[in-house]
Chains A and B, each alone.
Chain A
Amino acid sequence: MFAFTIRRLLISIPTLLAISFIVFAILDLAPSDPTGNLPLTIPPEVRQQIRDSLGLDEPFPVRYALWLKQFFINEPLNLIEGWTGWQFGDGDRLRVTSWATRSPVVDLIIERLPQTLWVVGMSQVVAVIIAVPIGVISAYKQYSWFDQIGTFVSMVGFSIPTFFTGLVFIVFFSVQLQWFPSIYDTNHEVTDWDSFVFQIKQMIMPTMVLALATAAQLSRYMRASMLDNLQQDYVRTARSKGLTERVVVTIHVLRNSMIPVVTVIALNIPTIFGGAIITEQIFRVNGIGQLLIIGIQGADIPLVQTLTFIFAVLIVLFNLIADVLYGILDPRIRYE
């Protein structure tokens, strides 16, 4: 397993380099102009000067090489300096800088990670907590009223987009009942009980909107996997051993059914970092997803390039993690 992991990690290096090149090339070819959103009253020669000042006058390979150096050498060194306090060279190196905000992209991402992890990450946790029991009970009592309702609810969860549920939540809970704020306060700090309660309140709606959508999906996976396993002979074996149903379901069936579900969850984790573009917009969570969409709208190429590439790294990494997890969970799988 160790050798397998190392080999896969090594293979992922050229893969990621290729991805970074493709992303860079696509963004370069895309018809976008960082001055495109400026008011029409700004004359073309001023626009050209702005573009030049952003480095757009350099040829493509130079810009790509510069980005590689900034991203793979300067940024890691900077992070290490920040964590350890060591000093490499004079510490004055060019960082990947967003065109719109004129600030280092990595700092923007770090600034936005907390709210994204809190809201989107928590939604995944809540989704698992909701989905697993529903999936288990639905499968165990297949075609019961619980299963029918579960099927209906998850179908609804599947088919209704988050921007709709989000709006319904806002209209109902914020406008009508006035229970929860419709706008997330990213400056809020949890210092005591009251502020903790406020944090929970402002997190509930975006978290639940995302959790319901994810749970709908996960519970279906869970149910299908449980149904597969419930039909297996080893379940009959377990019953014939005289085990209680609870033990049969939780020890035997659930553990085996979790194998595919756990890998689905692992593959979902990069999307947590990717944020939930629409949900973040609706509730003004302003996390990574919103950062990306603003970057795209404003043709902020360094920002989009860096974010996209980080997502690519996470996806490659979590694919590997999912494979390794599968190997750990399912003794039948061996990587050599």
Chain B
Amino acid sequence: MTRIGLLMGATALVAAGAAYADGHSERGSDGQLNIIYWQAPSLLNPYLSGGTKELEAASLVLEPLARYDETGTMVPWLVDEIPTVANGGVSEDLTQITWTISEGIMWSDGTPLTAADAVFTWQYCTDPAGGCAQLSNYNGVSNVEAVDDSTIRITFDEPKPFPYGPFVGAQSPILQQAQFADCTGEAAPTCTEENFAPIGTGPFIVTDFKANDVATFEANENYRVASQPAFATVNFKGGGDAASAARSVLETGEFDYAWNLQVEPEILTQMEAAGQGEVVSAFGTSVERLMVNFTNPSADLGDERGTVAHPHPFLTDTAVTRALSLAIERNILVEAGYGAAGRPTCNVLPAPEVYASTNNDWCLEYNPDEANRLLDEAGWEMGDDGVRVKDGVRLSVLYQTSTNSVRQGTQALIKQMWEAIGVETELRNIDGSVFFGGDQSSPDTFQKFFADIEMYTNNFDGTDPEAYMGNWACSEIPSPDNLWLGNNMPRFCSEEYDAMVVEMSQTAALEDRAALAIAMNDMLMDAGAIIPLIHRGGVSARAASLEGVKMNEWDSELWNIAEWSRAE
């Protein structure tokens, strides 16, 4: 048989195996699944700990009514459909949402899941003595009631165009009333047994929990999908550091899945070469971006420095900002500093998919010739010292960021790229605690922005960008009047934009909200207020033999663990 023949044969076999696994997999048939989280969970009740490690470990057991899939799209989980205004689940005045639990959902102890459990969960978290870490998910909820055994009605004290806070996502799963009834308020922290082994509706049940060390799970016999989960037991080990967690999956093969591998990209690549597993990444909303200052930061202006009274001498020229963006080779930045944890982006709102614009993709292509052409056309002429000048104004920028080795690497690369098109670049870095510290007396905060360009990462939690896009309203411009508190660093101001912010707060339909978000994003890009660089994501590793992993930044990474299986 030729080599190609062999390969084809092997492929056919794999395909057959996969088909078999899909068709005939059986609950508990794939043995043990070994997961390593280098930060170990300290308990399994997400309401008593806001940490990601606890949320994700608990997500094997506890489930919300609806959650987000790997694209950031909301999917019904314990319900049949997502309530919307269109299907009548959300009231016209946007103050009520009604969820209906699917038929036949059981707790792992065999009792049925009822609306009363959801009501209890709300009461549990909002008890002022309990110290609930997920309280913000129940913001604005005035009442949760059980209309009948399977119908939950949530009432808000004001209209909520995005009413998907309570009981959606890994932060807000449903607890069993029967188990936690005696654990409310001040008693919450004393219920060690309950907090270490909550009863849930998820694919697994806790068999043993050693705080900050290891948790073991076994398949839930009462799980709603008869053939799932494929694994009989889960060994959820914690502790150590990210590099050795990566090694245990990628090199020694002792574990099947390792979480949050904040490791230098080249080290991960090296480990991956061992062939035991592969690095997987997923992208949420974090974007490393350059903020462009539309106001003049010159120290000569005294108290009016960096205020809207004095526009920037050249950065309000869209030809300049567009040229700056085109001159950056984003792939190089990713390679040098991010590896699998980053990818080039041209949007400040890169995700979820429905909100992501495709209108700015011109920036993905590194094109210094076009950048030069734009500048020439706009009248910026190359001076003798290699710096462009127009009307006596030199294209010279001060570019600041926080102190961090990756950021300084990026700065150096960008400086090189910009100087190639005749933009003089001066670099500066400021200690993170000062830069992000918001100290009124410091001139170096990112809000005061006494520089031309600044770089940092921001994101928003969850999947709704309303508050995030509101950051660039005129009212958000930091100035001495509001003690420099505000999120609109570029000092971008547009009536049209502000109108869209207001419109979004009154729009309920997801498609309409998405259209608005895209339009706002594009407006910021066209104005050149923000130059997005890198869409940053989470990185995990999975063993080659582990199938079904759908890396997810919107929810628990283990959100679909019921579907995971061992390759034949």
Contact = CB atoms under 8 A, between A and B. Distances in A.
The answer to A–B direct touch (Cβ < 8 A) is yes
Interface of A: 35, 37-39, 41-43, 46, 49-54, 97-98, 100-104, 107-108, 111-112, 170, 174-175, 178, 181-183, 185-187, 280-284, 286, 290-291, 294, 298
A100 B42 contact: yes
Contacts of B210: 111-112, 186-187, 286
Nearest to A42: B50
B135 A182 contact: no
Interface stretch (B249-257, B413-421, B552-560): B249-257
Interface of B: 36, 40, 42-43, 45, 48-52, 128-133, 135-136, 186, 188-192, 195-196, 208, 210-214, 216, 235, 237-241, 244, 247-248, 251-252, 254-255, 274, 461
B50 A39 contact: yes
Given A178-B252, A182-B247, A187-B214, A53 B130 contact: yes
A182 B258 CA distance: 14
**Chain B, interface SS category:** loop
Nearest to A163: B241
A98 B461 CA distance: 29
A46 B132 contact: yes
Given A102-B195, A103-B195, A183 B131 contact: no
A247 to B, nearest CB: 50
A284 B237 contact: yes
Contacts of B254: 174, 181-183
Contacts of B36: 183
A51 B130 CA distance: 10
A42 B136 contact: yes
13 contacts: A42-B50, A53-B131, A101-B43, A101-B192, A103-B195, A103-B196, A175-B274, A182-B248, A282-B241, A283-B240, A286-B238, A294-B212, A298-B42
A215 to B, nearest CB: 25
B51 A38 contact: yes
B133 A50 contact: yes
Nearest to B250: A175
A181 B237 CA distance: 14
A102 B187 CA distance: 11
Contacts of A103: 43, 192, 195-196, 211
Contacts of A294: 40, 42, 212
B60 to A, nearest CB: 16
Contact of B135 (A49, A52, A100, A290): A49
Contact of A186 (B129, B136, B214): B214
B239 A281 contact: yes
Contacts of A182: 244, 247-248, 252, 254
Contacts of B214: 185-187, 286
Contact of A97 (B40, B189, B216, B251): B189
Given A111-B211, A280-B239, 7 more contacts: A46-B136, A53-B188, A101-B43, A101-B195, A281-B240, A282-B244, A298-B42
Contact of B251 (A49, A52, A107, A175): A175
A183 B248 contact: yes
B216 to A, nearest CB: 6
B136 A41 contact: yes
Given A37-B51, A175-B251, A291-B212, A282 B240 contact: yes
Given A53-B189, A186-B210, A286-B214, A101 B240 contact: no
A183 B195 contact: no
Nearest to A108: B211
A46 B133 contact: yes
Contact of B189 (A102, A170, A291, A298): A102
Contacts of A97: 189-190
A290 B42 CA distance: 12
Contacts of B240: 183, 281-284
A22 B419 CA distance: 58
A311 B247 CA distance: 33
Contact of B128 (A43, A49, A284, A298): A49
A101 B49 CA distance: 9
A92 to B, nearest CB: 10
Contacts of A282: 240-241, 244
Q: Which 4 A-B pairs have the closest CB atoms?
A: A53-B131, A101-B211, A38-B50, A41-B461
A51 B131 CA distance: 7
Given A49-B128, A97-B189, A281-B239, A290 B212 contact: yes
A164 B214 CA distance: 25
B131 A286 contact: no
Contact of B131 (A49, A111, A298): A49
A102 B43 CA distance: 8
Contacts of B251: 175
Contacts of B247: 170, 175, 182
Contacts of A98: 42, 211
A313 B107 CA distance: 46
A324 to B, nearest CB: 36
B134 to A, nearest CB: 8
Nearest to A100: B42
A282 to B, nearest CB: 7
Contacts of B132: 46, 49-50
Contacts of A50: 131-133
A294 B191 CA distance: 21
Contact of A42 (B133, B212, B248): B133
Contact of A290 (B131, B189, B239): B239
Contacts of A291: 212
B461 to A, nearest CB: 4
A332 to B, nearest CB: 48
B192 A102 contact: yes
A50 B42 CA distance: 16
Given A170-B244, A187-B235, A286-B40, A38 B133 contact: yes
A112 to B, nearest CB: 7
Residue among B45, B128, B190 with max Cβ neighbours from chain A (10 Å): B190
Nearest to B251: A175
A290 B238 CA distance: 11
A102 B190 contact: yes
Contacts of A290: 212-213, 239
Given A183-B254, A284-B237, A294-B42, A46 B130 contact: no
Nearest to B45: A102
A43 B212 contact: no
A103 B191 CA distance: 8
